[in-house]
Homo-oligomer: A and B are copies of this chain.
Amino acid sequence: MEKHSPQFRPISFNGICTRLGDKWTVQVLWRLSLAQDRRLRFSALRKEIDGITQRMLTLTLRNLERDGLIMRHYFPEVPPRVEYDLTEMGIGVLGALEGLNSWIQNNLSVIEQHRQIYDRNNQ
């Protein structure tokens, strides 16, 4: 295999990759991408993402909105309704993750074998 392109400069990986690597961000993006109009309300996201708390969903959505990857739509009804949808940039980052995702699909089992072997050799 040949070396990667010289443009590869992981300078910017912190803090984009740090954000993407957190516990819930990719899940939220992914769920939105599968929805009608790439748009879901808060309670729907919460139901679909197993184990997420209300607090962490709120924080994750705030960060994504701050970065411009999703948009928040507030409807001052009673009871209130809030919907979130992917922006063009939010759609784009999911596309940019596909290469990594398929690599993980292809290599995860090998990695897990390595981990088992390593752990066995170190008690």
Binding site for B on A (CB under 8 A): 1, 3-5, 7-10, 12-14, 16-23, 26-27, 30, 33, 65-68, 88-89, 91-105, 107-108, 110-111, 113-115, 118-119
**A107 near B88: Cβ-Cβ < 8 Å:** no
Q: A10-B30, A95-B99 are in contact. List 19 more A-B contacts (CB 8 A).
A: A5-B98, A8-B94, A13-B101, A13-B104, A14-B23, A16-B108, A17-B104, A19-B21, A20-B100, A21-B21, A66-B118, A67-B111, A68-B110, A68-B113, A68-B114, A92-B107, A93-B107, A97-B100, A99-B100
> With A18-B21, A92-B103, A103-B96 known to touch, is A115 a contact of B13 (CB < 8 Å)?
no
The number of times this chain is found in the oligomer is 2
Nearest-neighbour CB distance to chain B for A85, whole angstroms, equals 14
The residue of chain B having its C-beta at the shortest distance from the C-beta of A121 within the complex is B66
Residues of B within 8 A of A96 (CB): 99-100, 102-104
